[in-house]
Amino acid sequence: MVGIARTLRYVASRTDLDTLAIWKRSDNPQRRIADEIEPGQVLMIEARENTSCGTMGGMLVARMMVRGAAGIVSDGPFRDGPFIAGLHFASYANGMNANTNLVAHHPEDLDLTITCGGVMVRPGDVIVGDDESVIVIPRHVAEDVASEGAVKEREESWIERRILDGHPVEGTYPMNDATRALYEAERS
């Protein structure tokens, strides 16, 4: 997953604000984002790492997918986890919980700075996710990080092949001068 951050911030729920009738309103940020997110964007959700209920359910996630979003990340669980996991869509959460978000969350804001999983996320940051993790890259350094990351990925792929071919760790990882010279010669 690679995309540009949009943010949704939840605060603690309040019984006068978090009713099913209010949840259905078109100005509810949680519902709005499902119809506003654009291709290539990643929804980042701050839910205070609360695991007592889901932060987003399958219908809204499916809507974001068909709109072309690059993915969704929540520091709380998802509702409808098996459905979301079955979509061809990058999704990251800290678990599953069938309880509705009204149990603990009030969707307060879109597109403000948030904290997701202990990391500051600003709208427009670059979000990258793979099978192991999600990282947040400030947009102003994203090009440099991508360039340096590509170099590191090439080097480590080469080192992995060397290790699998039986070369010792010593001198291979990290590369000593002789191994680096061999790497450079094979690249050219």
Which percentage of the chain shows pLDDT scores above 70?
Answer: 100
Report if pTM > 0.85.
Answer: yes
Per DSSP, 77 falls in state: P
Res 188: pLDDT:
87
Res 37: pLDDT:
98
Q: Is the pLDDT at 83 greater than 90, yes or no?
A: yes
Q: Is the pLDDT at 50 greater than 90, yes or no?
A: yes
Altogether, the residues listed in the chain come to a count of 188
Res 167: pLDDT:
97
Query: CA nearest 45: which of 20, 21, 26, 69?
Result: 69
Which domains, and CATH codes, for the chain? Answer: 2-137 (3.50.30.40), 143-187 (no CATH)
Give me 124's structure tokens: 């427009």
Q: Is the pLDDT at 129 greater than 90, yes or no?
A: yes
Q: How far is 102 from 110, CA to CA, in rounded Å?
A: 17
CA distances from 51 to 70, 86, 94 (A): 24, 21, 8
